[in-house]
């Protein structure tokens, strides 16, 4: 085994071989995903209908490409929403909270092994 080899643990309840952890870092990963829809209607959509369209988008199953929703609004406009798919972002931004560097641990009077 090389000097830089890493050991990964699969924890099981009651497993005593897992080390005691003294530090914790909260990590948030954020990406931009693009969800694509097609909206068809019998009449042009007006600004006053956008709330209804947003509600229809929320009703479509975004885990299933091709999922759709049809409804008729109070003005008699038939609206059809089709979910076309998701493009997953590859530009992840990571932020960390409670991060303590190795140098800071010495200032805290803790030993790091």
Residue-wise pLDDT tens digits, 58-71: 889 999 999 999 98
Residue 13 falls inside a structural domain:
no
pTM: 0.56
**Count of domains forming the chain:** 1
Domain encompassing residue 51: 26-105
Q: CA-CA distance, 81 to 7, in Å (whole number)? A: 49
Residue 40 falls inside a structural domain:
yes
Q: Is 40 helix (H, G, I), strand (E, B) or coil?
A: strand
Task: Report strand pairing: 78-87 vs 93-97.
Answer: unpaired
Residue 84 falls inside a structural domain:
yes
The 10s digit of each residue's pLDDT in 75-97 is 888 989 999 999 988 888 888 87
């Amino acid at each position: 085994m090389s000097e830089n080899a890493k050991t990964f643990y699969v924890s099981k309840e009651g497993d005593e071989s897992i080390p005691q952890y003294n530090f914790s870092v909260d990590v948030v990963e954020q990406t931009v995903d693009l969800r694509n829809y097609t909206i068809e209607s019998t009449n042009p959509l007006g600004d006053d209908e956008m709330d209804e369209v947003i509600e229809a988008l929320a009703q479509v199953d975004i885990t299933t490409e091709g999922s759709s929703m049809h409804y008729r609004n109070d003005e008699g406009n038939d609206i059809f929403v089709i979910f076309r798919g998701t493009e997953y972002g590859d530009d992840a931004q990571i932020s960390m909270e409670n991060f303590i560097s190795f140098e800071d641990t010495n200032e805290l009077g803790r030993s790091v092994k």
